[in-house]
Amino acid sequence: MRKTILHMDLDTFFVSCERLLDSRLNNRPVLIGGTSDRGVVAACSYEARVYGIHSAMPMKMARLLCPGAVVIRGDSGTYSKFSDMVTEIVKERAPVFEKSSIDEFYVDITGMDRFVQTSYLWSRELREKILKETHLPISFGLSTSKTVSKVGTGEAKPNNHIEIPEGNEMPFLAPLSIKKIPMVGDKTYHKLRSMGVEKIRTVQEMPVELMERVLGKNGTVIWKKAQGIDNTPVVAWSERKSISSERTFEKDTTDVIKLRSLLVAMAENLCYQLRNGNKLTACVTVKIRYSDFQTYTKQKRIPYTSLDHTLIAVVLDLFEKMYERRVLIRLIGVCFSYLVGGTYQIRLFEDSEKLIKLYQAMDLVRNRYGQSAVKRAIGMGATTIGGMNPFNGQTPIIPAH
C-alpha cells in the first residue's frame, strides 16, 4: 500500500499570531525580530516580502527596503502557546503525526480511506477545524511522501491546500525550481546552477550516477526526491522526548565553583546537540542528589529555544534556588525536555546578526574538530562532557575528573 502523507504549515506563523493580537497589522508589511539596527528579521509578512525582505536579513537593511514596515520585537512565549493550541487539535484527530517544527506538522493517514470518504476530505476538515478554533491561516499538501507533500504545501500557500495524486508526483515537481527540493541549500543550488540545472525536470532526466559524482551521497538523495521517491517515515511525536546529562562524583563535594562549571559544561553541550539535531526545548530540569541519596529536581517551562546563553542562565538559576549549602552533593544533572523540531538556531527576536554568526561559527568548528573545540571558560574543567547521540534518551557516561 502506498503511503498517504499530509504536510501542514502555519502561514507566516509569527506574523499571523501578532495579527490575532492586533488587527491593525492586517494587510500591512510587518517585520518581526531584533528591533535595533544590529538585529535580524525573524519573520516577515507577505506584504513585506514584496520588497525583497526575507528571514535572517539584517533589520537595518529590511527597514531601508521598506521604510513603512511595522517592526515588532516578537514574543516566543506567545508563539509557543499558539503552537501548542494547534498541536492539541492535530493530536486529537490524527492517527500518527510528527511535529517537525513550531509551525509545521506531518501526518501519516495511510489507509484512512477505509474509514472516511477520502483522505483529502479528511485533511480539509482538519485544516478547517484549525482555522475555526485558532484563526491561524494554515496550508497543506497531500501526497505519497514527505518531500512531495512539503513541496506541495509551499505551492499551495498562502492559506490554501493541494493534493498530488499517486502517479502525478514527477509531473508536479518537474517545472519547479530545483531549490524547492528540501535539503537543497544555497551552496548546492549554486553548484547545480553552474551545471545548468535550474528545474527539477533536469534532475529527473539526469542519471543518478552523475548526481552522486557531483554531490556525493547527497546527490543520490536529491535525485530520488526529484523523482518523488522518499520513504522517510512519519515519526510519532511525543511531547516528553528529552536529552540529559548527569555526573556522579567519586567523592561527594560542596565545591560550588566546580558544580557551576560542570552545570555550564553540561548545558553548553546539550545546547550544541539541540542545534545540531535541529531541535528546540521548552523545559529545563536540574537534578541534585545529596550524599544521603535524597534526590531533588526543579524544572521550568520556557519558550522554545536552543541557545546556550538562554538555557545556561535557566540552569544556573534553578541550581541556586535548589542547592542547600554545606550539604555534600553526590550527583548533579541537567535535562532538556518537551523537544520539538526547529530549524532556526538562535533567538532572532533578541539577538544581533553578530551573535547569530558567532553561534554558527562555533557550531561549525565543533562539527569539524569535535564538541570540545569551543567552550566557555567557566566550563573548561569539565573536559569529558558529551560523546554520544543524546536523542535516544540515554544519559551520557561521563568519567569523573
Check residue 233 and report its DSSP letter: P
Q: Grid coordinates standing for 275?
A: 542545534
Instruction: Please give the sequence-ordered ranges of beta strands (E in DSSP) within 194-316, or none if there are none.
Output: 242-253, 279-290, 295-305
Tracing cell 537595518 back to the chain, one arrives at 60
Alpha-carbon distance of 272 to 156, in angstroms, equals: 34
Report the 10 Å Cβ neighbour count for 232. Answer: 13
Q: Which helix (H) or strand (E) holds 119?
A: helix 119-134
Is 103 annotated to bind a ligand? Reply is: yes
Q: C-alpha distances in angstroms, 134 versus 48, 54, 137, 350? A: 24, 26, 9, 26
Q: Give me the catalytic one of 104, 163, 169, 268.
A: 104
Is 11 annotated to bind a ligand? Reply is: no
Q: C-alpha distances in angstroms, 106 versus 7, 95, 324, 345? A: 5, 11, 45, 21
CA dihedral 323, 325, 326, 329 (to 10 degrees): 20
| 104 classed as catalytic | yes
Q: How many CA atoms lie within 13 Å of 104's alpha carbon, on the beta-carbon side?
A: 17
Alpha-carbon distance of 188 to 221, in angstroms, equals: 13
For residue 158, is the peptide bond before it cis, meaning its omega torsion is within 30 degrees of 0?
yes
Tracing cell 528545474 back to the chain, one arrives at 199
Q: Choose among 10, 13, 241, 8: nearest CA to 109.
A: 8
364 Cβ neighbours under 8 A, 6+ residues apart = none
Residues with a catalytic annotation lie at 104
* Feature table: binding site for Mg(2+): 9, 103
* Feature table: binding site: 9, 103
